[in-house]
C-alpha cells in the first residue's frame, strides 16, 4: 500500500483486497466459473450495488486476480534469475510457486474462463516471465544455421522481430515451457500416476533440454 494515499484511498484498497480474498475462497470451493460478486457482497455484509463501486463487473475482478497471479510469478522468476541458474533450477522455482497456491496457478494456466478476454496489460506481465526463460535458455556458443523453425518463427507476427533471441533459444524456451506446464497441470489436477515423483520427472524432462 502506498504511504501517500489518503484515508479514502486506503479504505478502497482495503475493500478491494478483501473482495479478492473472498473471490479466491470461492474459486477454491467451486471454481472460477462460479465466481459471483453478489455472493461476495453478501459474505462481506454489503449490498451488491455497493460492491460494484469497487469492481464494476465480474470480468474486472477476474482481471485483478489474474494480474496479481502473473505479477507474483513474474516477481518470483525474476528474483530467482541469478548467474548460474539453469532450466532445472528455474523449473523447481516455478513448480514451488505453483504448489504454494494451486488455484492461483490454475487460474492463469488452467482452463480458460468462458467469455473472458484478458487485457493487453496481462500479456505484458507474462512477457516478463518469457524474457527470463529466453535468457536462461540462451546458449551463446550456438551457431546461426537456419532450421525449419526459423522459417516458422519469421512468419509468426506475434514473435518475429520482437524477441532478442535466436530461433534455437526460442525453441528451447518453448519446449521447456511445454514440458513444465505438462507436468504441473497433471500434478495439480491430481492426474499424476501414483508412485511417481513429479519433481523428479520434471527435473529429468528439463535436463534433456
Contacts of 206 by beta carbon, 8 Å cutoff, 6+ apart = 87, 88, 91, 176, 179, 180
Average pLDDT over the chain, rounded to an integer: 85
Q: What is the pLDDT of residue 6?
A: 87
Residue linked to cell 534433456: 208
Query: What is the CATH classification number for the domain harbouring 145?
Result: 1.10.357.10
Whether residues 18 and 51 share a domain: the answer is yes
Whether residues 96 and 193 share a domain: the answer is yes
Q: Which three cell numbers stand for residue 191?
A: 492426474
* Burial class, 67, CB count within 10 angstroms (exposed 0-12 / middle 13-18 / buried 19+): middle
Number of domains comprising the chain: 2
CA atoms in the 13 A half-sphere facing the CB of 116: 21
Query: pTM above 0.85?
Result: no
Whether residues 156 and 188 share a domain: the answer is yes
Whether residues 158 and 87 share a domain: the answer is yes
**Whole domain around residue 121: which residue ranges?**
66-207
Residue 160 lies in a domain: yes
Give the Cα separation of 76 and 147 in Å (integer): 33
Whether residues 84 and 118 share a domain: the answer is yes
Whether residues 95 and 39 share a domain: the answer is no
Residue linked to cell 471454481: 31
Q: What angle do the packed helices 87-100 and 58-80 form, to 10 degrees?
A: 140
Q: Which three cell numbers stand for residue 156?
A: 509468426
Q: What is the pLDDT of residue 3?
A: 55
Residue 61 lies in a domain: no
Give the Cα separation of 45 and 205 in Å (integer): 49
Give the Cα separation of 75 and 78 in Å (integer): 5
Q: What is the pLDDT of residue 27?
A: 95
pLDDT tens, residue by residue, 105-143: 999 999 888 888 889 889 889 989 988 998 888 876 655
Whether residues 151 and 184 share a domain: the answer is yes
Query: What is the CATH classification number for the domain harbouring 44?
Result: 1.10.10
Whether residues 37 and 81 share a domain: the answer is no
Whether residues 199 and 122 share a domain: the answer is yes
> Per-residue DSSP letters for 34-99?
G--HHHHHHHTT--HHHHTTT-SSHHHHHHHHHHHHHHHHHHHHHHH--TT--HHHHHHHHHHHHH
> What's the residue count for the chain?
209
Contacts of 128 by beta carbon, 8 Å cutoff, 6+ apart = 74, 77, 78
Whether residues 71 and 39 share a domain: the answer is no
Whether residues 42 and 71 share a domain: the answer is no
Whether residues 79 and 131 share a domain: the answer is yes
pLDDT tens, residue by residue, 39-67: 999 999 999 899 999 999 999 999 999 99
Q: Which three cell numbers stand for residue 84?
A: 548460474
Amino acid at each position: 500500500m502506498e504511504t501517500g494515499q489518503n484515508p479514502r484511498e486506503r479504505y478502497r484498497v482495503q475493500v478491494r483486497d478483501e473482495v479478492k480474498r473472498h473471490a479466491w475462497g470461492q474459486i477454491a470451493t467451486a471454481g472460477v466459473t462460479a465466481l459471483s460478486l453478489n455472493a461476495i457482497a453478501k459474505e462481506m455484509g454489503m449490498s451488491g450495488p455497493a460492491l460494484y463501486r469497487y469492481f464494476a463487473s465480474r470480468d474486472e475482478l477476474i482481471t485483478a486476480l489474474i494480474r496479481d497471479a502473473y505479477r507474483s510469478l513474474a516477481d518470483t522468476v525474476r528474483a530467482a534469475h541469478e548467474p548460474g541458474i539453469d532450466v532445472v533450477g528455474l523449473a523447481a522455482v516455478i513448480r514451488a510457486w505453483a504448489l504454494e497456491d494451486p488455484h492461483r496457478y490454475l487460474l492463469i494456466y488452467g482452463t480458460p474462463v468462458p467469455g473472458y478476454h484478458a487485457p493487453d496489460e496481462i500479456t505484458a506481465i507474462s512477457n516478463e516471465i518469457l524474457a527470463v526463460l529466453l535468457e536462461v535458455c540462451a546458449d551463446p556458443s550456438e551457431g546461426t544455421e537456419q532450421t525449419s523453425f526459423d522459417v516458422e518463427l519469421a512468419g509468426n507476427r506475434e514473435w518475429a522481430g520482437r524477441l532478442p533471441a535466436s530461433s534455437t533459444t526460442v525453441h528451447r524456451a518453448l519446449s521447456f515451457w511445454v514440458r513444465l506446464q505438462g507436468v504441473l497441470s497433471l500434478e495439480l489436477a491430481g492426474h499424476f500416476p501414483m508412485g511417481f515423483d513429479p519433481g523428479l520427472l520434471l527435473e529429468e524432462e528439463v535436463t534433456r533440454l
